[in-house]
Amino acid sequence: MDTRLIFVALLAVAGAVLAFVLLSQTPAPTQLAKEGPSFMNKDFFVVTYAQGPAWVQGKSLGEQIGIKEHLEYWRKFFYEKRLIMGGPFTDNGGLVGMIVMAVSNEREARELIDNDPVIINKVFQVAELHPWHIVLG
């Protein structure tokens, strides 16, 4: 299956999950009419990771060097609400996983990605980085 088609499908799923999470915390309609949903004031960026040059073939994702550090690194941004969601792909294709970030701009997104331990150690590499605008949700 074409990776772009998979990417679009995953964005649709990510949008549905994000909408569910955010709308479950949505204020009353009268307040929304005045303020709008809080997430609509943020830029979102989606990054997909692929296997990097240091990826050890024959080892699972969980066995790759730096995975625990990668999870700890992103966990702090989740608590800061800069990481919306992330996780591995399960189709064993060329892409490893995806992260959705709520950040101010692309520079901030790239800074977070560039300091990810699996990027520094070249276990992962960035496949794609896209700005994302929520239309429905």
| Domain limits, the chain | 3-132
Between 136 and 99, residue with greater pLDDT: 99
- Average pLDDT of the chain, as a whole number: 79
Cα(100)–Cα(84) distance, integer angstroms: 5
pLDDT tens by residue, 61-91 = 999 999 999 999 999 999 999 999 999 999 8
Mean pLDDT of the 20-26 span = 45
The architecture that CATH gives domain 3-132 is 2-Layer Sandwich (3.30)
pLDDT of the residue at 29: 41
Entry pTM: 0.69
Query: Is there a contact between 98 and 14 (Cβ–Cβ < 8 Å)?
Result: yes
